[in-house]
Amino acid sequence: MFTTGALQVDSVQRWMEDLRLMAEVECMCVLQSKPLSAEEDELMVEHTQTHSLSHTHTRAQLQMLLRRALLVSTELGKMFSRLERKRWARVHSSALRVYTHVNTLLSQHTHTNEKPLLEKCMELNVITERCLHTQDEYFLRSMKEAIHEILTDVSDSFSITIDRALANEIQTLIRQMEDSESICDISSAITDLLSLTQDGPQLCSIIAKEGAVVSLLKICRQDGFSSLYAPALRTLASICCVEEGVHQLEQVDGILCLAEILTDADSGEATRAEAAAVIAQITSPHHSSTQHLASFLESMHDILSALIHLCESASCGEVFLLASAALANITFFDSMACEILLQLNAVHILLEACRDRQRVDTPYSKDQVVTILANLSVLEQCTADLLVLLNEKPASSSPSESAACERVQQKAAVTLARLSREPQLAQRAIQLRAVPRLIELCRSPGERNNSDSVLVACLAALRRLASESPEELEPADHQQLIKPRLVDSFLLCSNMEESFV
């Protein structure tokens, strides 16, 4: 069944537009599907006017298509629910609504014969109306099964029809990008595509299948369109949230194009940042297809060099976040990346950036940094630098910022525990007073935002350091945080009030 994300429309405007659509359906229900000729004439005029407009109105057509589709999908869902409860009057009213919406939608947005779908919708109307005028339980039971079967067919056919209609409209935008010689028209089409990608992965899949990735990369390969590189790359990153987008990118040497943009001295910072966003998207650990990006390995050294340079020279937090997110994902993607980053002095550059409030202005950026350091820690001795990140605190009460701060603390503690297996590194951490901070995080729920994951990580790191220098802990700390089983210490600390550090 069709689903969509929140439509990017003002709420009052959205309500008024939806009200008109619902009012049309209610008129049809009241008159038992007898059409009002005046309204039909108005709808036909509206339809003719809409299709006579230029490509700049494609987005409006898509919005209308998405709204109609969402209304039909909602009614179909209601019908399944009402059918189970044998609410025959409501089942029939929903069937009427579905028929009206589908009929209007097909007349305005498709160019193929969808007569079978309309016939199924009409069949639903006829059968559900018959159920209104009988009390025969045997007949109603048999009709319930028949209605459920037809309803399933309608849902499946409708999903296919909507995908086809969306594909037709998206093709219009892609043709506008490819055929127009006007920078303004191409920019408008890119903006519309980007807006569509925000309506969910289903739409991104359709956009990718219709060839948008290829068209966007063509723009990024033409010097005359340099002003469009940034929005084209931003749209490309959104499309690549789905596997189809990543596959297309690989098939047309998109990785090489991204590497060239990142390493081009003439590329502006905004363009390179958007290229970094695409890299971050396609190397996301959530993608199963990243293991097949063989072409990425060929350009990895150039990409890593460009990304770490972007982190070093970033003029604002957003640029640093995009570049560091790409680096963090790449360190998961291939172990060779960690060795390259160490050669590029990445640890020093990233930690210097953490001291610069202009570049690293949120816990989200520090989350990326500590992820990179954690993945590099198996190769490099960066223990002392992690203590800075253990002191991370949210600057506001925002839940998302608090969660990012927790991730920074947790990853820093985990990495510290891992590195402290080496006696020299453990001693260095102790000299830099890692133990008091770890104890504070364990004993003070507020310091770790009541996070259990931070608590477990800090207890593990504290126990590792205590095994090297038990004299660093007070007897009470040793008795409560080190001597018991880990689970017992966890339960003790997780139930503590703000404390007695």
What pLDDT does residue 235 have?
97
What pLDDT does residue 290 have?
61
What is the number of H-type helices and E-type strands within the chain? 25, 0
Q: What is the dihedral of CA 139, 145, 148, 149, to 10 degrees?
A: -120
Q: Structure tokens of 290?
A: 């990243």
Q: Which of 245, 334, 320 is nearest to 277 (CA)?
A: 320
- 8 A C-beta contact, residue 27 and residue 36: yes
HEC string of 63-78? HHHHHHHHHHHHHHHH
- What are residue 499's phi and psi, to 5 degrees? -120, -160
- 8 A C-beta contact, residue 150 and residue 117: no
CA distance 98 to 102: 6
What pLDDT does residue 41 have?
42
CA distance 38 to 252: 52
- The per-residue DSSP string of 102-132 comes to HHHHHHHH--S--HHHHHHHHHHHHHHHHHH
pTM of the predicted model, to two decimals?
A: 0.68
What pLDDT does residue 54 have?
45
Q: Structure tokens of 5?
A: 């994300």
CA distance 383 to 119: 70
- 8 A C-beta contact, residue 359 and residue 317: yes
Q: Structure tokens of 178?
A: 């490819």
CA distance 212 to 191: 13
What pLDDT does residue 187 have?
93
- Residue 432: helix, strand or coil by DSSP? coil
Taking the CB of residue 26, how many other CB atoms lie within 10 A of it? 13
CA distance 327 to 369: 9
Q: What is the pLDDT along the chain (501 residues), one digit of tens a residue?
A: 554 444 444 566 655 655 554 554 444 333 333 333 343 344 333 433 433 344 445 667 777 888 888 888 888 988 898 888 888 889 889 899 888 888 888 887 665 567 888 888 898 889 888 888 888 888 888 888 889 999 999 999 888 888 888 888 899 889 999 998 889 999 999 999 998 898 889 889 999 999 999 999 999 999 999 999 999 999 999 999 999 999 999 888 899 999 999 999 899 999 999 999 999 999 888 877 665 567 787 888 999 999 999 999 999 999 999 999 999 999 887 778 888 898 899 988 998 998 898 999 888 998 999 889 888 875 555 665 677 777 777 777 788 888 888 888 888 888 888 778 778 778 888 888 889 999 999 999 888 888 888 999 899 889 988 888 888 888 898 899 998 888 888 888 887 654 443
Helices 183-197 and 212-220: angle between axes, nearest 10 degrees: 140
- 8 A C-beta contact, residue 420 and residue 464: yes
Contacts of 493 (CB under 8 A, 6+ apart): 442, 443, 445, 455, 459, 481
**For the chain, what are the domain ranges?**
55-164, 180-252, 294-380, 383-496
Q: Structure tokens of 275?
A: 């290229």
DSSP H or E stretch at residue 254 = helix 254-263
Q: Which of 484, 376, 501 is nearest to 448 (CA)?
A: 501
Whether domain 55-164 has CATH 1.20.120: the reply is: yes
